[in-house]
């Protein structure tokens, strides 16, 4: 890890820069794939799957029969673990349901808000070096609770053209309507435009690499919404001498093994703790199956020492971590002053892995500093709020003059007349 001793605020942006390519530089490639998918449909999907995944397909859709066959091959103990995680995720997201908001803003003016599900949603589950079947739990469960009428899944194919048994098991159990062995930009393009086989959706969910992130952002130009710009994963651990260096090192490595472009940051007010954690990193790294990936991610990692809590808090807020692990004696100080984070893990016994899999919170979170504007996926991500109003005759007579004056001041005479003509009729009936 690169070590920094009390860096100045003017240097924080450079130190904390994410190890990602310029998204603008990827746009031409993504746009070209989108155009091919839009014009050639399924054939473009098959061609790109051959080109990028080296998998030959005649169809990208996984039938319900094939899905069932794959799901039945899952390890029973893993299925039990998945079911327990699913239960916790369902409990947490079901608790996010809200009642209709109804109020009379003034006599005779009744306003209310109700939520309706987004009809068609597309779920993207990354494959690559570590297929994230847990992400399907995080997306399919709230989509089902919200009542989305069409849930479509895209995930990169295995060498035999199928999908992981765990993904098939979850898709079947959580009621996913259609499943496609389809990944990358071409999958986002298919969900954006629709093809002969893949339905067009209203909103796309799920993380991915930098190309997928650009593709999702491009999809918004074609009237398709997205959950957030979710790119390479990141973690920031704030720890002091009350933390356990072996725990913190394990947390840092759990993020580093995601991919070579993952970012790992340790902030501490204790230099000896940083040194002890670095020693633990070296020891634990030796036994990791994904050692080479973690090593490359750690090459971009930072260890930052501050001699005051105030400076540490300011730096953390300047960064805005996707995952924020807090292992300090004075938790309240850091939590009270927290401004930006995707998901927070508090205390020595709350590893990020808990939120990644089974505690119940959602692990689909904004990265690259987008925590300043976006929330992680939650139940309302699959809903839209619709407002309603009903005004009585008396209510319009009381409120009408206010509307008339404001519309006239803006020079919108037709707006004013929509009220005036009603008031004239009411006055004539009086």
Mean predicted confidence (pLDDT) in 193-216: 94
Decide: helix, strand or coil at residue 12: helix
Q: What is the mean pLDDT of the chain?
A: 95
- The pLDDT score that the predictor gives to residue 321 is 96
Q: Please tell me the predicted confidence (pLDDT) of residue 131.
A: 76
Checking if the pLDDT of 430 tops 80, the result is no
Half-sphere exposure of residue 426: CA atoms within 13 angstroms, side-chain side = 13
Is the confidence at residue 320, as pLDDT, over 70?
yes
The one catalytic residue in 36, 322, 352, 363 is 322
Instruction: Please check the confidence at residue 21 and state whether its pLDDT lies above 60.
Output: no
The fraction of the chain above a pLDDT of 90, given in percent, is: 90
C-alpha angle 376-213-43 in degrees, rounded to nearest 5: 125
User: Do the Cβ atoms of 212 and 189 come closer than 8 Å?
Assistant: no
Segment 396-429, tens digit of pLDDT: 999 999 999 999 999 999 999 999 999 999 999 9
- Greater pLDDT, 19 or 269: 269
User: What are the residue boundaries of the structural domains of the chain, listed by start?
Assistant: 2-20+232-360, 23-97+113-227, 392-429
Q: In whole angstroms, give the CA distance from residue 108 to residue 105.
A: 8
- The answer to whether 67 touches 179, Cβ cutoff 8 Å, is yes
For the domain with range 23-97+113-227, which CATH number is right: 1.20.1740.10, 3.30.2000.20, 1.10.287.610, 3.40.50.1980? 3.40.50.1980
Q: Which residue has the tokens 């704030």?
A: 238
Across residues 364-379, what is the average pLDDT?
A: 94
Q: How confident is the model at residue 132 (pLDDT cuts 50, 70, 90)?
A: confident
Give residue 130's pLDDT band: very low, low, confident or very high (50, 70, 90): low
Residue 119 designated active-site: no
- Measured from the Cβ of residue 353, the count of other Cβ atoms closer than 10 Å reads 15
pLDDT at residue number 24: 79
Superfamily of domain 2-20+232-360: Nitrogenase molybdenum iron protein domain (3.40.50.1980)
Check for a shared fold between 2-20+232-360 and 23-97+113-227. yes
Q: Stretch 60-65: mean pLDDT, rounded?
A: 96
Per-residue confidence (pLDDT) for residue 297, from 0 to 100: 86
Strand-strand pairing, 178-181 and 150-155: parallel
Which entry of 234, 257, 258, 323 is annotated as an active-site residue? Answer: 323
The reported pLDDT for the residue numbered 260 is 83
Q: What is the pLDDT of residues 78-121, one digit of tens each?
A: 999 999 999 999 999 999 999 999 999 999 999 999 999 999 99
Least confident of 14-28, 122-136, 393-407: 14-28
For residues 389-396, give the mean pLDDT: 98
- Judge whether 378 counts as a catalytic residue: no
pLDDT at 100: 96
Tokens of 124: 């993207």
Beta-bridge partner residues of 236: 265, 324
């Amino acid at each position: 890890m690169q070590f920094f001793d009390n860096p100045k605020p003017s240097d924080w942006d450079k130190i904390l820069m994410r190890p990602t390519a310029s998204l603008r530089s990827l746009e031409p490639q993504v746009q070209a794939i989108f155009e091919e998918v839009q014009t050639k449909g399924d054939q473009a999907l098959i061609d790109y799957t051959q080109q990028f995944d080296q998998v030959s397909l005649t169809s990208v859709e996984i039938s319900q029969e094939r899905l069932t066959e794959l799901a039945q091959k899952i390890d029973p103990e893993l299925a039990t673990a998945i079911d327990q995680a699913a239960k916790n995720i369902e409990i947490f997201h079901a608790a996010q349901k809200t009642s209709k908001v109804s109020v009379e803003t003034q006599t005779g003016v009744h306003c209310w808000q109700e939520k309706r599900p987004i009809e068609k949603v597309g779920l993207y589950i990354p494959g690559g070096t570590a297929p994230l079947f847990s992400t399907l739990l995080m997306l399919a469960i709230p989509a089902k609770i919200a009542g989305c009428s069409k849930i479509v899944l895209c995930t990169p194919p295995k060498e035999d053209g199928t999908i992981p048994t765990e993904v098939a098991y979850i898709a079947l159990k959580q009621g996913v309507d259609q499943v496609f062995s389809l990944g990358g930009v071409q999958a986002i393009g298919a969900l954006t435009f629709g093809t002969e086989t893949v339905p067009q959706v209203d909103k796309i969910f799920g993380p991915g690499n930098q190309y997928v992130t650009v593709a999702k952002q491009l999809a918004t130009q074609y009237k398709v919404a997205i959950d957030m710009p979710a790119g390479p994963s990141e973690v920031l651990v704030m720890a002091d001498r009350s933390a356990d260096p072996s725990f913190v090192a394990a947390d840092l490595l759990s993020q580093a093994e995601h991919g070579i472009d993952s970012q790992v940051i340790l902030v501490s007010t204790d230099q000896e703790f940083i040194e002890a954690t670095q020693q633990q990193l070296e020891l634990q790294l030796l036994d990791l199956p994904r050692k080479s990936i973690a090593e490359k991610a750690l090459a971009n990692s930072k260890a930052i020492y501050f001699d005051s809590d105030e400076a540490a808090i300011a730096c953390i807020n300047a960064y805005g971590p996707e995952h924020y692990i807090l292992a300090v004696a004075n938790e309240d100080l850091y939590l009270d002053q927290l401004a930006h984070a995707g998901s927070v893990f508090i205390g020595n016994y709350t590893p990020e892995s808990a939120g990644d899999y089974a505690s119940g919170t959602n692990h689909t979170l904004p990265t690259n500093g987008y925590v300043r504007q976006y929330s992680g996926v939650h139940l309302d991500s699959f809903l839209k709020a619709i407002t309603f109003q009903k005004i009585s005759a008396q209510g319009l007579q009381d409120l009408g003059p206010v509307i008339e004056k404001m519309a006239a001041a803006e020079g919108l005479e037709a707006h004013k007349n929509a009220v005036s003509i009603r008031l004239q009729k009411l006055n004539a009936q009086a």
